[in-house]
Structures are given as structure tokens and as C-alpha cells.
Amino acid sequence: MRVYGSLNNRFDENKNFLKRDIQIGDDITMYHWSDRDCYYVTEVINQKHIKVRPYYVCADHSKKLDMGHQEWLYHKTLKEHNKYLNSVFKDRDLDESPEEKKPIEIVYRYNKWQIKHTYLPENLEGVDSFGRKLIDVFFTEKEISKLKAGKEVYRYSDFGNISFGVRDYYYDWSF
């Protein structure tokens, strides 16, 4: 197995720091090459099927630390995040009633966590970024017949290496 990125990330990824079942509000850390992002659980369908949202993270400006050594503040909503930034930076005027992102639905399948993408019958008429009809380039014949019958189609993509029960944001300033 080839080791890549931050060694700290490789040690921590895919660990479950929870000593119980996953619950609403539990923290998740997603490990990238050297960075880490944080999410929290918003819905538990079962222990292998959950919905998550990202934390909105910013540096704590009440502490005087050098660039790259911040204490992080975690906001569950973009409204809280923008309100804090507006209080710190008086010259900015961030929208305090922004539209929130939808939760990300993830499932545990094939020994990894994957994002579940749901396509509805109305997606058949959509176009991709090149202006091509999705029915021509995106869906298989089996999926097209399912969509035409009024059923949903699911596709999956990797969510990444994650750990449950820990919220450990990190941004690598060296890249």
C-alpha cells in the first residue's frame, strides 16, 4: 500500500472514536491529502446510512496567533458564520440570511463511505455542462427505463476517508 499526504491523516483516517452507535450531532472528520474538513450528522436512517452537513469553519479572531496556527470556530449554519464574520470585519457585509446547502446523504457500502446521488424522472430532461442531454450521455439503458417508469435511480461516489467522533479541522497553508 502506498502512503500519501500527511502521515497524521493516514494514522487517523477510518477510525471510529465513538464507543456507541452513530447519533444526530456526532462529528465527522474527512481526511484529504493533508487538509481535514469537518461535518456533523443531521439524520441517522440506520448505522450505514446517514445524512451530514459541513461545518462552516473560520479562525477565532479573538486570539492573536500566527497564520496557520489558528484556533478554529465551528458554525453549523452559514447564518451564524456570516454573523460572526460581520462582527469581526466591520467593512464587510455578508448576507445574514443565506440559503443553506442540502445535507449530503452517505452510505457505507463496499467497505467505504460513499455519497448517494438520487436522480428523479425529471432529471431525464436535464443537460450537462456541455449542453448535451443527460439521457444521451449520462444514463444507461437500464437507468433510462427505470426513470421512464417513474422510479428513482441511485449512483454513488466516494465520500473519502473519514473518522467518526472527532472534529479536527486543518488547513495546510504550505500548498
Q: Which of 81, 35, 28, 76 is nearest to 55 (CA)?
A: 76
User: Domain range spanning residue 153?
Assistant: 19-164
Long-range contacts of 64-72 (CB under 8 A, 24+ apart): 67/173, 68/171, 68/173, 72/169
Within-domain flag for 172: no
Residue reference for cell 473518522: 163
Burial of 82 (0-12, 13-18, 19+ CB in 10 A): buried
Sign of the torsion formed by the C-alpha atoms of 70, 72, 73 and 76? positive
Contact 31, 161 (CB under 8 A): yes
pTM score of the predicted model = 0.78
Within-domain flag for 1: no
- Quote the pLDDT of residue 91: 79
Structural domains in the chain (count): 1
Within-domain flag for 40: yes
140: number of Cβ within 10 Å: 9
- Quote the pLDDT of residue 23: 93
The segments of the chain whose pLDDT lies below 50 read none
Within-domain flag for 76: yes
Within-domain flag for 42: yes
Within-domain flag for 33: yes
Within-domain flag for 93: yes
Within-domain flag for 12: no
Q: In what order do the strands lie in the sheet with 36-46?
A: 153-158, 112-119, 104-109, 49-54, 36-46, 27-31, 161-164
